[in-house]
Amino acid sequence: MPGDGTGKPAGEREYGFPAPLWRALARHRPPGAGAATRGWRSPVRGPWLTAVHGALLLVALPLVFLTGLLDHLAYGPRFGQAFPPDVGWLRLPQVDWPTRPSWLFRVTQGLHVTLGIMLVPVVLAKLWSVIPKLFDWPPARSVAQVLERLSLLLLVGGILFEIATGLLNIQYAYLFGFDFYTAHYFGAWVFIAALVAHVSLKLPRMLSALRSRRPADEARTGTAATRPEPPDPDGLVAPEPGPATVSRRGAVALVGGGALLLGALTVGQSLDGPLRRTALLLPRGQDPGSGPNGFPVNRTAAAAGISDADTGAGWRLTLRGGGREVTVDRAALHAMAQHTARLPIACVEGWSTRQTWTGVRLRDLAALVGVPDPASAHVRSLERAGLFNQAVLQANQVLDGDSLLALRVNGADLSVDHGYPARVIVPALPGVHCTKWVAAIDFRTDG
Ligand SMILES: Nc1nc2c(c(=O)[nH]1)N[C@H]1C(S)=C(S)[C@@H](COP(=O)(O)O)O[C@H]1N2
Ligand SMILES: [Mo]
């Protein structure tokens, strides 16, 4: 052990822990750990492949995070109707969600879900590329290394948790005993905090690893000519590499191809027409029937407990505002000025569709009860139970000229499953707030 003048043994200088303890740990590597490290023999594993996947994730994951936050904002946290309703100091700025462009929510939620799904193979490949680090021995060498490993636990645990909860939610598999939205929201913050820590530690290494090999060379190198990278300080490169079974270009193509395939099997849910049938990974809305009402239904009238008697001739709409109350039937609504708009419905769970809606402008209904300039509108459905039997709309959402209480779609009466006798449809409003089977609207001046 060479001396350095401090009089301390090398182990202690290097690792910060008492040397005897460290040396004992290092000697007593558990039987599995050594075998596992030696078992990772692929010659393509190394800093370059890790950096390529890291760079992809560094660009794409913040986009998934941001579109997720936008989806949260679109739900109207101001009215306590975002999930979870109370996020403490993680509260986002209280801004009005715009009504233009009308496809805004369709794009933010579509990107969030589609990109999130496409990144699954990239995340798995990134984890594969660093798996020897999991078996680092001794497991704790210095305080800095322990902190880094803890942040990795949050990083890896966080992304796997977000993927799992996200995928289960869009498959409508509410298997967990906790609220999806709450878990997914807080999980996202844990993950992004760990990502910031990770990136600030690893960015220089990622950049130098990317520069260490020329992409043009990799593109020319087949499996037979694939050689391991030189040994690296992180121990990613196999100490005893086996023969290559795939080239670096092959590995990147496999992951990229997997991402594109997943994307291709997902985007269909955001398209109308025959292409919707390509959304093989999504459970709903591939076969929504035909005719004017032939588009996806999230919750049928039967599932919502809506009976024929509820929606029949006895149906009345109650409008309230400024201490006044007006009750109208469907004939009275038909007698008012009708407006037609082509607008999307976009569900946060992934699918969207664009249809041509006709009905009465919400602002005309507000004017009818003498509140032409409401601060908000509280919409209630006939539906008695269920999370989505009511919604609050912002002032700009009530006043937009295309915001409707729709009576018809694509030239026909709404079907009962689509909300007959009347449903809300507002540009860029999340589908969840396009309340069906509307029973009452309360136009408020005080928020
Ligand atoms: N009353 C009521 N309205 C509702 C819902 C509901 O469960 N009950 N679901 C909402 C959700 S989550 C979406 S995405 C849209 C879906 O509209 P669609 O089923 O008519 O296509 O309706 C919304 N309106
Ligand atoms: Mo939805």
Q: Are residues 89 and 152 in the same domain?
A: yes
Assess whether 306 and 437 both reside in one domain.
yes
Higher pLDDT, 36 or 345: 345
Domain of residue 368, residue span: 301-444
pTM, entire model: 0.91
Give the whole-angstrom CA distance, residue 66 versus residue 394.
22
Residue 119 pLDDT: 98
DSSP state of 373: S
Q: Residue 333 C-alpha to ligand 1 middle, in angstroms?
A: 21
Q: Which amino acid is at 324?
A: R
pLDDT of residue 35: 59
pLDDT digits (tens, 9 = 90+) for 205-229: 999 999 999 999 999 999 999 999 9
For ligand 2, the distance from its centroid to the CA atom of residue 83, given in whole angstroms, is 13
Domain shared by 37 and 97, yes or no: yes
Q: Would 34 be classed as within a structural domain? A: yes
Summarize the confidence of residues 68-72 as an average pLDDT: 95
- Same domain as 305, residue 259: no
Does residue 372 sit in the same domain as residue 251? no
- Which atom of ligand 1 is found nearest the CA of 419? 20
Taking CB atoms and a 6 Å cutoff, what residues make up the pocket around ligand 1? 296-299, 304, 345, 347, 381, 383, 386, 388-389, 418-419, 431-432, 434-437
Q: Which of 247, 264, 281 is the last residue of a domain?
A: 264
Report which of 420, 419, 415, 361 is spatially closest to residue 388, judged by C-alpha positions.
419
Name which of 446, 416, 447, 422 is nearest 434 in CA terms: 422
Residues 252 and 341 both lie in one domain:
no
Q: Are residues 217 and 344 in the same domain?
A: no
Residue at 294 is within a domain: no
Ligand 1 center from residue 106 Cα (angstroms): 15
Nearest ligand for residue 390 CA? 1
Which is the closest atom of ligand 1 to the Cα of 437? 1
Residue 68 and residue 180 share a domain:
yes
Quick one: which of 373, 402, 385 has its CA closest to 437?
A: 385
Domain assignment present for residue 157? The answer is: yes
- CB-CB contact of 45 with 252 (8 Å): no
Same domain, 225 and 306: no
Cα–ligand 2 centroid distance for 388 (angstroms)? 9
Domain contains 121? yes
Residue 295 CA, closest ligand 1 atom number: 21
Nearest residue to 82 (alpha-carbon basis) of 344, 387, 384, 298: 387
3-class state of residue 237 by DSSP: coil
Rounded CA-CA distance 33/47 in Å is 21
Residues 337 and 247 in one domain: no
DSSP letters of 72-134? HHHT-GGGT-SSSS--GGGPPP--PPP--STTHHHHHHHHHHHHHHHHHHHHHHHHHHTGGGG
Region 188-201 average pLDDT: 96
> Hey, whose CA ends up nearest to atom 10 of ligand 1?
432
Most informative mutation of 348, 380, 388 for ligand 1 (most atoms within 8 A of CB) = 388
Q: What residue's CA is closest to ligand 1, atom 24? A: 435
Let me know whether 239 and 315 are in one domain. no
Q: Are residues 231 and 346 in the same domain?
A: no
Total number of domains in the chain: 2
Q: Residue 88 C-alpha to ligand 1 middle, in angstroms?
A: 28
Contact 63, 115 (CB under 8 A): yes
pLDDT, tens digit (0-9, with 9 covering 90-100), for 247-272: 999 999 999 999 999 999 999 998 88
The residue whose CA has the least distance to atom 11 of ligand 1 is: 432
Closest CA to 410 of 447, 356, 367, 359: 356
Give me the pLDDT at residue 169, please: 87
Relative to the alpha carbon of 381, which ligand is closest?
Answer: 1
- The CATH number of residue 313's host domain is 3.90.420.10
Mean pLDDT within 103-119: 96
In a domain, 48, yes or no: yes
Pocket test residue of 181, 276, 383, 432 for ligand 1, highest count of atoms within 8 A of CB: 432
Contact 324, 369 (CB under 8 A): yes
Residue 377 pLDDT > 80: yes
Ligand 1 atom showing the smallest separation from residue 417 Cα: 20
- How far the first Cα of the chain sits from its last, in Å, is 74
Residue 1 lies in a domain: no
Q: Is 188 a domain residue?
A: yes
In 3D space, the residue among 134, 148, 122, 6 whose CA is nearest the CA of residue 63 turns out to be: 122
